[in-house]
Structure 1
Amino acid sequence: MSAAQPWPQQVLLHERSGALALAWDDLGEHVLSGEHLRARCRCAGCEQGRRHGSPPRPDPATRLERISPIGEFGLQLHFSDGHERGLFPWAYLRELAMESAA
């Protein structure tokens, strides 16, 4: 049995909804909302907030406005609330996709 690719076959920003769609060779397609992704940001500021009992609590209307590929590593996500410091590695996006399927 071969290991799955660490990156998705397709990445699509749904401009109307501000959600991120990822199609994985073995998991199928998963759509992650901007609000969910913003709440799960792992940048230093968001992680520090979590450690101090103040995790990110994005507005339900938070959307993705833009995505920037970071080589083969993953994506930098740009949110409607101005937050754009978090890098989302492919492995972490895959983890989020699997959680959304559960």
Structure 2
Amino acid sequence: MTAAPEAIGNSQRTGQLRLNWREGQVQLLGHALLRRHCPCSQCRAFRLRGMNPLVSPDIRVLEVNPQGYGVQLVFSDQHERGIYPWAYLQALRQEPE
């Protein structure tokens, strides 16, 4: 099981979530990337059918709510169903623009 990061930062201005992991690794994840990879059952089913969700590049994470094994993110499009496990976040890589 992946441990929680030591610190989490959320920048509305840059549209990035910053995770400071224990090993000294800093991970920056764009809000649009996080929304496209939402792990909720509805979004997973959408992706399993081969559909890519349309996500505005202007989407923002409004709230970051730690849930023990991960974090719930509340997005500016009102989507808030996904809880992102720490290991899932650590495995995500920022996509090229």
Asked if Structure 1 and Structure 2 have the same fold, meaning a TM-score greater than 0.5 normalized by the shorter chain, the answer is yes
- Give 1 or 2: higher helix fraction: 1
Listed one character per residue, the Cα deviations across residues 77-98 of structure 1 (whole Å, up to 9, x for unaligned) are 00111111000011111111xx
Structure 1: which 5+ runs fail to align? none
Q: CA RMSD, aligned part only?
A: 2.0
Shift of 1:5: 5.6
The question of 1:58 aligning with 2:31 is answered no
TM-score by length of 1: 0.82
Structure 2: which 5+ runs fail to align? none
**Alignment partners' CA distance in 1, 2:80 and 2:48:** 20
Moved over 3 A (4+): none
The structure with more radius of gyration: 1
TM-score by length of 2: 0.85
The question of 1:82 aligning with 2:95 is answered no
Secondary structure of residue in 2 paired with 1:50: helix
Partner of 2:8: 11
**Alignment partners' CA distance in 1, 2:24 and 2:7:** 12
Q: 2:2·2:86 contact (CA, 8 Å) conserved in 1? A: no
